[in-house]
Amino acid sequence: MATRRERLAFITFGMFIIDEIEYLNGKASEQKIIGGAGTYAALGARLAAGAANALFVSWIVDMGSDFPPEFKAMIDVWRTSCIFRLDTSRLTTTAWNGYGPNEYRAFKYLTPKLRLDEYSLSDEQALARSFHMVCSPKRCISLVEGVMARRSQVAPNEPRPVFVWEPVPELCTPEEFDKLQEAARIVDIVSPNADEFASFFAADSGRSPRQAMVEKFLALRDTTPLDVALVVREGAQGCTMYQRAQSLHLHAFHQSAERVIDPTGGGNTFLGALAIAMTGTASPSENTVTRVLSSSSRPVDDRLLLAVLHATVAASYAIEQTGLPLLAGTSADDAWNGEPYQKRFMSFLEKEKAHIIGQLPGTDTADN
């Protein structure tokens, strides 16, 4: 049986979807675009993993009778451990995405979806070192328990994997808050975007300050606070991670709106990179971050900081065009959209160095 280091590092429960994109501002619509939470999460994991660790990234693509063969060719170039499943009795899951002013987005399925669960996984996938989920709190709990049950059957002594969960937007409501906390207790990272996180508290009088929301969610004033990392994605403002009573903000990679062509998939790309980096299967590695920051004291642990740095850089590639970024080259540091990933990562780390150090205890807080 494979050793821990030989295990797959990443699996997503997100689906492959063919997207149709309509822009409500008059921009020409887009047809037959590769999309889906699973696709973009796998993209993020692949970006962070690098060419040398591409095979540690695993995901499932369900192909219907209408699946374009060129899509498989595009995915094969990534060299991931992707499992293609063909069912000619159905159509490939297809969805409509509508975009409008002020970051408006609408979404609906045009064909029946085919969800993945723990029974969709091979034994090898069930033993992966990290799992990515976008679902309701109830389904999150079911998936985590299902994965752990599968693992106990296949390899009873296998260490616990990393679970990264994004709550689905439509259930980010005050009525779901207790279920949110229940699910958060059994995962490692919860990552809503800023609006989704705030929506859990909309019933509170006025709009609570972010810190008050965080304290309530993490139950910091209770006898049993949540031992989970919260990573709030803030779009053009970057992201903020919270771990116990500590926090750290990172800027977005792209500071110019002109570089952001289509935000579709940015969040899931972020989460895929975040998940695989938490397993230590990312390049540049944790040692690189420690060396560049050259400080023994940080608001969050190095592994989480590394993961969020990778998540931010990976997401930047997803939003530079409609659809997927272009991979070229087969070198140790392959180029996406013409720029090597490791080069972009290191430039971002150097750019953020002062901002990160400025948030350390005992230093002046950098401007957010």
27 found inside a domain: yes
Sheet with 30-35, strands from edge to edge, namely 30-35, 17-23, 94-100, 104-109
With contact defined as beta carbons under 8 Å apart, do 36 and 16 qualify? yes
Q: What is the DSSP string of 59-112?
A: EEEEE-TT--HHHHHHHHTT--EEEEEE-TTSPPPEEEEEEETTTEEEEEESS-
42 found inside a domain: yes
Q: Domain count of the chain?
A: 1
Average pLDDT, stretch 31-53? 96
pLDDT band at 203 (very low <50, low <70, confident <90, very high): low
List pLDDT tens digits, range 214-256: 999 999 988 889 999 999 999 999 999 999 889 999 999 998 8
List pLDDT tens digits, range 91-105: 999 999 888 777 677
Domain limits at 53? 8-357
Residues shown for the chain: 368
Distance CA 27, CA 304 (A): 39
286 found inside a domain: yes
Q: Is the dihedral of CA 201, 97, 89, 41 positive or negative?
A: negative
313 found inside a domain: yes
Could you give phi then psi for residue 182, rounded to 5 degrees? -60, -45
List pLDDT tens digits, range 296-346: 566 778 899 999 999 999 999 999 998 999 998 666 668 999 999 999 999
Rounded to the nearest angstrom, the gap between the alpha carbon of residue 162 and the centroid of all alpha carbons in its chain is 12
362 found inside a domain: no
2 found inside a domain: no
What is the average pLDDT value for the chain, to the nearest integer? 91
1 found inside a domain: no
Question: Which residues lie closer than 8 Å to 296 by C-beta, 6 or more apart?
Answer: none
Average pLDDT, stretch 157-168? 96
363 found inside a domain: no
With contact defined as beta carbons under 8 Å apart, do 37 and 275 qualify? no
What pLDDT is stored for residue 173 in this prediction? Answer: 92
pTM for this predicted structure: 0.93
CATH number reported for the structural domain that contains residue 273 in this entry: 3.40.1190.20
